[in-house]
Chains A and B, each alone.
Chain A
C-alpha cells in the first residue's frame, strides 16, 4: 500500500489483473569540498554520456519469419515477443472486440494443453507468458530465465500458433468481459475515456468503441469467428519474433527454427481502416453520474497517424503542454490552483490517425474553473521562449537512455520499430532529432494539430452540480448529455 506524490498505480485493483565526464566533474567538486562548501548554487554538470543501444541483429527463419535479436547480458533473462501485425483496427464491422478476444483466448487452450495446464507449466518454470491485443498489433510475450527457455518455447509456440479456443473457456472469458464492461459503468476514468472516443469517432468507426467491444458484440462472437481471425492474421508473413536478453543469435536460432520454422499459412491481406473524419465543431458532453466525488474531464479531437512528419515537433509540443509532471497543464491545474491531483495531455498515434486528448480528474465544485484553465493553456501553446523550449527538449532527450534499461523496455521499443516501420537507426538518431526541433516547428505543429475551437469536451460527473457552471462558460451554445448506455452501447 503506498500513497504517492505523483501518479502511482492504485494499490488494490481487484477487478483487474496488474564516466568519464563524471570523473572530471566530481574531481573538481572534491577539490572544492576542502574549502567551505557552497550550498546556494546547483552543481554544474559535465557533458551528457552517450546512449549505446545494443544493435538489432536481423535474421530470418526458413519460413520467412523475421527474427530480431538484441543482446543484453546483465541478468540471466530473455524476453521473446511474437508480434502479429493485426489488432482491433482489423476487427470486421459488427464484430468489434474480435481481435482482442482472439488474443485473450490464445492461452486458454493450445496444442495438447488446457488453459490451466498452460498456466501451471509456465508458472512452474518461473516464467511469464502474456497475450496482448492492441489497436495495430497483437502478440504473445514470454519472459523467462534463460536456463528455462528451451522448456518454455514449445508452450509459447503452441499458444501463438495452435490455440484450440475451447468452447467452455470461450464462454467463461466472454462472461468475464461482459462483467468487466458492467464494472466500467462505475469506473469514472475508464468511462470518460470510452465516452471521449465515442464522441470523437462515433459509434460506427472502430475507434469509437473500446478494444474489447460492447456487451452485445462480445456476446455475438463465436468460436468460428476466432478461428477465422487467427487463420487470416496469425501467419509468418504478418509477424516477427523479437528476442531480447542474455542470448546469442547462434545458440537461439536453432531453437526458434525448431518451434516456429515450420509455421505456415498465407493469411489475408490487411484491410485498411477508413481515416476518421475530423471533429466539425466544438461540443461539450456530460455523462451524468450522480454522487461521484470528482469530475473526469477529457478534451481533444482526431490526431495524426504515427507516420506524421511532425512526430518530433509534436512530441516536444505535447511535453510542453501536458506530457510531463512539470508541463503547463499540471502546473496550472494542480500546482497553481489545486483543482486536481494531475492534469495531462497525450497524442495516441496509430497506423491510421489517432487522437489528441487532455485530461484530469477534478474537484466537482471546480469543474468549470478547471475547464477554463484547460482552454487558457490551449490558447497560449504557440507562445514559448527559448529557455522553456530547451528545458522541454532536454526532458525528452536526456531522459531517453533511461527507457532502455530492462529487457521488457527494450522489447517494447523494438515492437514500435516493427509495427510502425521505423528506420533501423531510429534509436541512435532520436536524441538528435529531438534536439533539432525549433520553436517555429513547435508552433506550426500546434497550429496544424490543435484547434481548441473544434475540440470535444467530455465530462463524467454529477450533472446537477456541474452543468450550470459549465454552461455559463459559454464555450458552446448548448451542453449535451449522454447516458452511460450510449457510451457503452451498440
Chain B
C-alpha cells in the first residue's frame, strides 16, 4: 500500500512535466480530415471515393450489410461460410481465380465476416483498379454455386473452426461468454457457427442468401488511394450500374434481447491450462451517445500497463497472469467484459472480487482529469495510426456509412471523444455496471482433462 502512494505521487510530478508543453503541441496531434465523396447509384449501391496519392496503390472494399446476426436458427456460421463461397467463381471468373488474379498482379485480397457485416477487400497497384471493380461486380451479379465446391469449402471452414477456436487455449472464451450472456438476440451464437449447423447447410441456402443479402442496396463500395475520382465513378457505374435491384426489400428483422433483470453466475470446465474469470455487462449499441464514454472506460481500465485493471491485478496484487476489460461495441447492444487469467496460487474468487471492485470504483468516484486526458491521447494516437494506410481509411469511412448510416462519423468521432467529461464516464459506469445486468463466468481447468 505504501509503494502505491509513492507511485501515485510520482505520477503527478511526471504528469506535471509532460503537461507543461501540452498547449503548444495539441494542434499538431489532430490528423488531417479525410477527404471523400459519397454517392448512391440508381440501383442502391453506396459508393465512397477517397483520394490518397502518397503510394501508387489503391484499396477497394465491398461491405455487405449482413453478418452472423442475420442468420436463422439452425444455420449458424452460414454468413461466414457464404463469404468463402464468394471465392468460388462467377460468370466470367473461374473458381478461386479471384485471389490468384489479384496475387498475380502483386495485390492482396481477403475477406472477413463479423456479427454485423461481411467485407471483401483488395489492395492493388493503382493501374489495376478497373480489374478489381470488374471482378467485384461480377461476383455481386453472377455468383456460381457448385455443389462439390460447396462441400469442399465446408470442410475448410470446419478446419478454420478447429484451428481458431478448438485447438487454441481460451479460443472459445468469447463464444462461451456470449452464449451465457444472451438469450434471444443472435449475438448469442458465434460467427464461425457450430459444426452441426455447418454440416446442415445446403446449396439452396447459398442461392437464397445471395439473392437476399448480396444486392446493391445492401452493399457499400469504398475506394481509397491513388486514382482519379471522376473517371473512377464512370468505371463504377459501368461495372456495378447494371447489377439489378433486389426483387424484395432486404430483411433486417433481428430479435431483440430482453433486458437482463438479475445477475447470472456460471461455472464451467474447459481443458485450458489456467482458470479464467469473466465479468460481463450488457451495454448499448455503436453510435449511441453512451458508447463513446464506454470506449474511454475500456482505455482507463486496460489500455497500457498502467491502466487500472492491468495495474491492479497483474502488477500490484499479482493475482492474474493477464487481464483486460473492454467494450465490444457493435451495431446492436452487446457486452462490456473484463477477463482475467488467474495466477497459479490464487483463487477465482479473489480475481472476481478484484475485477468487480475496479468496475465499482468507476461508479463510486470520478476518474482523474489526468486519466481522462491520457485516454483521449491514446484515442488520438489510435485515430492517427488509423489514418496512415488506405485500408484503414477505407475501414473508417465504410464503418461510418454502414454501421452508423452516417459517413461523417468517420471524422466527427474525433471531436466527440475529445469532448467527453469525467462525469460522462461515471454516468455510463453507473448505468451499465449494475449487479442485475452482470454475468460472472468462471472457467476452471478440467481435472485430468485437457491435452497435456
Residue positions of A touching B, CB distance < 8 A: 1-6, 8, 10-17, 19, 21-23, 25-27, 29-30, 32-33, 37, 39-43, 45-51, 74-77, 113-117, 119-128, 143, 145-148, 150-151, 172, 176, 179, 182-183, 185-189, 289-294, 296, 324-326, 331, 334-335, 337-341, 361-363, 391-392, 394-402, 404-408, 484
Contacts and interface: CB of A to CB of B under 8 A. Distances in A.
A368 B319 CA distance: 44
A126 B328 contact: no
B103 interface: yes
B121 to A, nearest CB: 10
A186 B55 contact: no
Q: Which of B54, B130, B159 has the most CB of A within 10 A?
A: B159
B55 A401 contact: yes
Contact of B127 (A45, A51, A406): A45
A14 B305 contact: no
Interface stretch (B214-222, B223-231, B347-355, B356-364): B223-231
A128 B32 CA distance: 21
Contacts of B87: 5
Nearest to A400: B106
Interface stretch (B254-262, B287-295, B383-391, B401-409): B383-391
A123 B152 CA distance: 47
Given A43-B130, A45-B130, A126 B451 contact: no
Kindly list the 4 A-B residue pairs having the minimum CB-CB distance in the complex, ordered from nearest.
Answer: A398-B106, A147-B25, A126-B377, A49-B56
A75 B387 contact: yes
B103 A395 contact: yes
Given A362-B159, A405-B57, 11 more contacts: A1-B174, A33-B234, A43-B130, A51-B56, A120-B11, A124-B377, A183-B274, A334-B156, A335-B96, A341-B159, A398-B125
B373 interface: yes
Most central of B24, B92, B124, B169 by chain A CB within 10 Å:
B169
A3 B171 CA distance: 12
A294 B162 contact: yes
9 contacts: A3-B80, A26-B129, A116-B7, A124-B14, A128-B381, A179-B344, A291-B450, A294-B159, A401-B125
A345 to B, nearest CB: 15
A74 B388 contact: yes
Interface stretch (B131-139, B244-252, B431-439): B131-139
B167 A294 contact: yes
Interface stretch (B38-46, B109-117, B203-211): B109-117
A49 B26 CA distance: 37
Given A123-B378, A405-B55, A42 B127 contact: no
A117 B452 contact: no
B377 A42 contact: no
B384 A75 contact: yes
Given A6-B110, A33-B234, A76-B384, A338 B134 contact: no
Interface in B48-91: 53-57, 80, 83-84, 87, 91
B10 A48 contact: no
Contact of A50 (B56, B84, B133, B191): B56
Contacts of A2: 112-114, 191
B179 to A, nearest CB: 13
Interface in B1-44: 7, 10-11, 14-15, 17-18, 21, 24-29, 31-32
Contacts of B173: 12, 14
Contact of A26 (B15, B26, B192, B234): B234
Given A45-B128, A151-B21, A405 B106 contact: no
A289 B451 contact: yes
Interface residues of B, number: 130
Interface of B: 7, 10-11, 14-15, 17-18, 21, 24-29, 31-32, 53-57, 80, 83-84, 87, 91-92, 96, 99-101, 103-108, 110-115, 123-131, 133-135, 137-138, 141, 152-156, 158-160, 162-164, 166-171, 173-174, 190-192, 226-228, 231-232, 234-235, 237-239, 242, 271-274, 276, 303-307, 311, 315, 318, 321-322, 324, 328, 339, 341, 343-344, 370, 373-374, 376-381, 384-385, 387-390, 450-452
A203 B56 CA distance: 47
A472 B32 CA distance: 63
Contact of B388 (A46, A148, A292, A407): A407
A172 B158 CA distance: 39
Contact of B159 (A12, A19, A29, A339): A339
Contacts of A405: 54-55, 57, 388-390
B127 A49 contact: yes
A145 B379 CA distance: 12
Contacts of B170: 12-15
A186 B226 contact: no
Contacts, number: 349
Contact of A145 (B24, B29, B232, B374): B29
Contact of A37 (B129, B239, B324): B239
Given A5-B83, A49-B125, A185-B273, A76 B169 contact: no
Contacts of A361: 159, 162-163, 167
Contacts of A76: 28-29, 31, 384
A32 B163 CA distance: 47
B159 A363 contact: yes
Nearest to A392: B104
B306 A23 contact: no
A326 B99 contact: yes
Given A2-B191, A179-B344, A401-B57, A338 B152 contact: yes
* Max chain B Cβ within 10 angstroms of own Cβ: one of A74, A294, A391: A74
A122 B14 CA distance: 11
Contacts of B328: 1
Given A3-B80, A394-B104, A147 B26 contact: yes
Contacts of B137: 39
Contact of B235 (A6, A30, A185): A30
B304 A123 contact: yes
Contact of B130 (A14, A29, A143, A341): A29
B273 A183 contact: yes
B106 A394 contact: yes
Given A33-B234, A77-B388, A126-B381, A292 B451 contact: yes
Given A14-B173, A401-B56, A150 B21 contact: yes
Which residue, of A14, A113, A183, has the highest number of chain B Cβ atoms within 10 A?
A14
Contacts of B103: 324-326, 391, 395
Nearest to A434: B106
A124 B18 contact: yes
B163 A23 contact: no
A4 B111 CA distance: 6
A276 to B, nearest CB: 30
Contacts of A22: 126-127, 129, 226-228, 231
Contacts of A114: 7, 10
A484 B450 CA distance: 14
B449 to A, nearest CB: 8
Nearest to A336: B152
A17 B322 CA distance: 8
A5 B111 contact: yes
Nearest to B87: A5
A393 to B, nearest CB: 9
A291 B385 CA distance: 42
B67 to A, nearest CB: 9
Given A120-B14, A291-B451, A4 B112 contact: yes
A147 B10 CA distance: 24
Nearest to A36: B242
Given A128-B381, A399-B108, A176 B14 contact: no
A147 B134 CA distance: 43
Given A13-B170, A14-B322, A326-B103, A29 B235 contact: yes
A116 B310 CA distance: 10
A168 B142 CA distance: 64
